[in-house]
Amino acid sequence: MATPEKVDVWVGLDVGKNEHFAEVLDDHGDRLFSRAVGNDQAAVERLLDQAAGYGTPGLAIDQPGSIGQLALAVAARRGTPVAYVPGLVMRRAADLYPGEAKTDRRDAYVLADTARTRRRQVHWLDTSSDELLARLRVLNGFDIDLAADQTRLTNRLRDALTSIAPALERALGDRLHPAGVRDLLARYPTLTALRAAGPIGIEQAIAARSPRVAGKVTRAVQAAVAAQTITVPAEAVTGRVIAELASELDRVCTRRDALAKEIGEAFLAHPFGELLATLPGIGPRTGARILTEIGDGSAFATGSKLAAYAGLAPVTRQSGKSLAAETRSRRGNHRLKNALFLAAFASLRSPDSKAFYDPQTGRRQTSQRRPHLPGPPTLRRHPGHAQDPPVLPARCPSNAAGQRRLTRRPAAADRTSLVQPGHVHTAPHSPQPTSRLDNKMGTPPDNFPLVACGACR
């Protein structure tokens, strides 16, 4: 398989449902040819054969899934490198080219030229065949669709309950997860039907599949029924809608439960899935979403690059003489970022994670640092700093206007050792240098300029 470094013919492919458009450039940016390409195997193979006549082709696309899957499969079988240029990046890059037209030909040209001029910056897809990852992508996509349907049906069901009996919605709205509650609404969807069923009928309907909550829910439903004696207009029709919504919601929940088992089996069958499963907060669903986005992680040389790809690395905001500040990135792979955020919150069930993030614990145990921004361990305080309480940097005495005190009183030999932001203070009690970034994110990155101030030399 050719590597991105060997590519000298750039095929920009603006994918479409029935037809793609290809723009082919050489390594100097000159147009070789351009034409429409049908969305079928033979047409894509002819395109790559024609491009291979000029050198080593590389494919640049803006849609790696769905309508672009066949083109990726053809490129993978032929060993053609594939560069992925997200749609937002392509639209911003298009602003650098003359003209305001939005055509398939122009989009294909922007794709090819962006990949040519940003060979090292674009994301090169791993097109190797991995049946487990392919299965997980399909199952994850289906699970996300079912989750959206479950949320939609739940909201619609609660709205219908509120329209005929607000007290009943308050009693059952937060308890729709147990299957017995859904069975109750499918059988007795209105106050009139619940009164006719009585406490025994209500409890039997719930206990069939949710015996543990049957008694508690029955008492809550009885209180809701007793709280309202008025029958609202169109109660019967609304009740029919509630029954159908409850049945549909039950079907979706049952399908998601079965799908979760299938996802778990495929996730644990992958070698990297077994490793992810050992981390706190990562279950089959979340781990499968992470795994489908990063694969085995070989595409990322360091944890910092993975954090930047996910949009979790801090971003410095600085202009002119304004103070530089590190903020959260709004870019990155949002699917991966969302999965990592879910894992971070779920990890709080683990005692170690809870102790690490708990504010009270953080104040009592100075050996643990709570990062202000999420990120990999490389963005947090180095373990070597945990031997002593951290020292926050302060400004040099020459800048008295912005001088701050240290978090703890230093030794007499260290009281003159105050540093400016961006300087390193090498105090005897610090096993590692501290810097401006240490205050917020822990150890600074490897390429951060560290200059010792005069008091430390």
pLDDT digits (tens, 9 = 90+) for 295-323: 877 778 888 888 888 888 888 888 887 77
Is residue 285, in this structure, part of any structural domain at all? no
Give the domain-ending residue among 380, 413, 448: 380
List, for residues 187-245, the tens digit of each pLDDT value: 999 999 999 999 999 999 999 999 999 999 999 999 999 999 999 999 999 999 999 99
Confidence bin at 360 (pLDDT 50/70/90): low
Asked if the structure places residue 280 within a domain, the reply is no
Domain identity same for 429 and 355: no
Q: Out of 362, 380, 398, pick the residue that ends a domain.
A: 380
Are both 350 and 389 inside the same structural domain? no
Q: Does some domain include residue 87?
A: yes
We report the CATH number of the domain holding residue 77 as 3.30.420.10
Half-sphere exposure of 86 (CA within 13 A, CB side): 10
CB distance 225 to 197 below 8 Å: no
- For the chain, the straight-line distance linking the first and the last C-alpha, in angstroms and rounded, comes to 53
- The predicted pLDDT at position 426 comes to 41
CA 342 – CA 127 distance, rounded (Å): 28
Q: Are residues 89 and 38 in the same domain?
A: yes
DSSP 8-state class, residue 22 = E
Please tell me whether residues 373 and 431 are part of one structural domain: no
Residues 6+ away with beta carbon under 8 Å from 143: 256, 259, 260, 263, 285
Of 68-72, 131-135, 346-350, 413-417, the range with the lowest mean pLDDT is 413-417
Q: Which pLDDT band holds residue 380 (cuts at 50, 70, 90)? A: very low
What is this structure's pTM?
A: 0.68
| Cα-based angle 105, 106, 108 (whole degrees, multiple of 5) | 65
For residues 454 and 241, what is the distance between their CA atoms, to the nearest angstrom?
Answer: 77
Query: In 3-state terms, what secondary structure has residue 166?
Result: helix
Same-domain status, 324 and 396:
no
Report the distance separating Cα 110 and Cα 104, nearest Å.
Answer: 10
- Using a pLDDT cut of 70, give the percent of the chain over it: 77
Between residues 274 and 179, the one the model is more confident about: 179
Is the residue at 191 inside a domain?
yes
Q: Looking at per-residue confidence, does 158 or 316 come out higher?
A: 158
Q: How many domains does the chain have?
A: 4
Type of residue found at 210: S
CB atoms within 10 A of CB 282: 25
**101: pLDDT confidence band, cut at 50, 70 and 90?**
confident
Q: Is 358 helix (H, G, I), strand (E, B) or coil?
A: coil
Beta pairing class for 423-424 and 451-452: parallel
pLDDT of res. 445: 46
Confidence band of 361 (pLDDT split at 50, 70, 90): low
- Distance in angstroms (rounded) separating the CA atoms of residues 307 and 341: 12
**Would you say residue 432 lies in a domain?**
yes
Residues 183 and 119 occupy one common structural domain? no
Q: Which residues sit opposite 220 in a β-bridge?
A: none
Dihedral pair phi/psi, residue 411, rounded to 5°: -65, 165
- DSSP-assigned beta bridge partners for residue 57: 9
Domain closes at, from 91, 124, 157: 124
Over the chain, what is the mean pLDDT?
80
Integer CA distances (angstroms), 374 to 338, 340, 440, in order: 12, 9, 11
- The number of beta carbons lying within 10 Å of the beta carbon of residue 216 is 11
Same domain membership, residue 160 and residue 61:
no
Q: Is residue 140 part of a domain?
A: no
Q: Which of 404, 437, 401, 439 is nearest to 418 (CA)?
A: 404
Q: Is residue 293 part of a domain?
A: no
353 and 436 share a domain?
A: no
The answer for residues whose C-beta is within 8 angstroms of residue 151's C-beta and 6 or more apart is none
Same domain for 413 and 306: no
What region does 333 belong to: left with phi over 0, alpha with psi -120 to 50, or beta? beta
Paired with 316 in beta bridges are 326
Retrieve residue 158's tokens.
């609660």
* Domain identity same for 396 and 336: no
Q: Which two tokens stand for residue 15?
A: 């994918």
Q: Is the pLDDT of residue 95 over 80?
A: yes
Query: Measured over all CA atoms, what is the biggest interatomic distance in the chain, rounded to whole angstroms?
Result: 88
The pLDDT value given to residue 359: 65
Q: Which domain holds residue 89?
A: 4-124
- C-alpha distance from residue 106 to each of 18, 22, 100, 124, 257 (Å): 18, 10, 10, 22, 46
- Evaluate whether 292 touches 137 at the Cβ level (below 8 Å): yes
**What would the mean pLDDT of 33-62 be, rounded to a whole number?**
94
Listed as own residue / partner, the contacts of 130-134 with beta carbons closer than 8 Å and 24 or more positions apart are: 130/295, 132/266, 132/269, 132/270, 133/270, 133/291, 133/292, 133/295
On whether the CB atoms of residues 36 and 136 are closer than 8 A, the answer is no
User: How far is the C-alpha of 315 from the C-alpha of 437, rounded, in Å?
Assistant: 12
Q: Is residue 180 part of a domain?
A: yes
**Both 319 and 248 in a single domain?**
no
pLDDT at 22 over 50: yes
